[in-house]
């Protein structure tokens, strides 16, 4: 599995990327039972809003957008993350920036694995999985 990270005109770099990659691989193996390539693009609010408008027809800011290009039962996807929204949400939810960033990464990967969050039930199910994987990450870094 190849997992890459790209930075789109942001003054931000992910710390402990190797450990985060290990977590992503575990999430994909457990939740999707597949392998493939996944790209993370860290960008700004404005760029992510434009993607949201163009591809999803939603005219608002968001923290993460996932594109699953499923190719012959092999994972192939892109996950765009707005670092601006992640920072704002961390402050609003009164949680650490690091925790919110990891949650957004996991959230994007779960979307790639087929999870959705359109209903209350789906949101709750995703939230439970996010909490589980955050706990696994904490154990990885101990």
- The CATH number assigned to the domain holding 106 equals 3.40.390.30
**Per-residue tens of pLDDT for the chain, all 142 residues:** 899 999 999 999 999 999 999 999 999 999 987 878 999 999 999 999 999 999 999 999 999 999 999 777 788 899 999 999 999 999 999 999 999 999 999 999 999 999 999 999 999 999 999 999 999 999 888 7
Antiparallel, parallel or unpaired: β 64-68 and 75-82: antiparallel
Residue in this structure with the two tokens 């390539």, named with its chain if needed: 37
Q: Other C-beta atoms within 10 Å of 131: how many?
A: 12
pTM for this model (two decimals): 0.94
Domain that holds residue 98: 2-141
C-alpha 95/C-alpha 108 separation (Å) is 19
- Residue 79 contacts residue 64 (beta carbons within 8 Å): yes
Q: Other C-beta atoms within 10 Å of 109: how many?
A: 29
pLDDT digits (tens, 9 = 90+) for 82-103: 999 999 999 999 999 999 999 9
Count how many domains the chain has.
Answer: 1
Residue in this structure with the two tokens 């012959």, named with its chain if needed: 72
* Helix segments in 36-119, DSSP class H: 45-56, 83-93, 97-112
Q: Residue 75's beta-bridge partner residues?
A: 36
């Amino acid at each position: 599995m190849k997992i890459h990270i790209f930075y789109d005109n942001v003054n931000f770099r992910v710390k402990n990327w190797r450990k985060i990659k290990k977590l992503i691989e575990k999430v994909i193996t457990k939740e999707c039972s597949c392998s493939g390539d996944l790209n993370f693009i860290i960008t700004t609010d404005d760029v992510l809003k434009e993607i949201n408008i163009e591809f999803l027809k939603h005219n608002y800011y968001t923290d993460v957008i996932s594109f699953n290009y499923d190719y012959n039962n092999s994972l192939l996807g892109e996950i765009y993350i707005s670092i601006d929204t992640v920072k704002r949400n961390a402050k609003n939810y009164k949680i650490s920036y690091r925790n919110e960033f990891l949650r957004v990464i996991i959230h994007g990967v779960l979307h790639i694995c087929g999870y959705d969050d359109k209903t209350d039930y789906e949101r709750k199910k995703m939230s439970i999985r996010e909490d589980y994987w955050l706990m696994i990450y904490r154990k990885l870094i101990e």
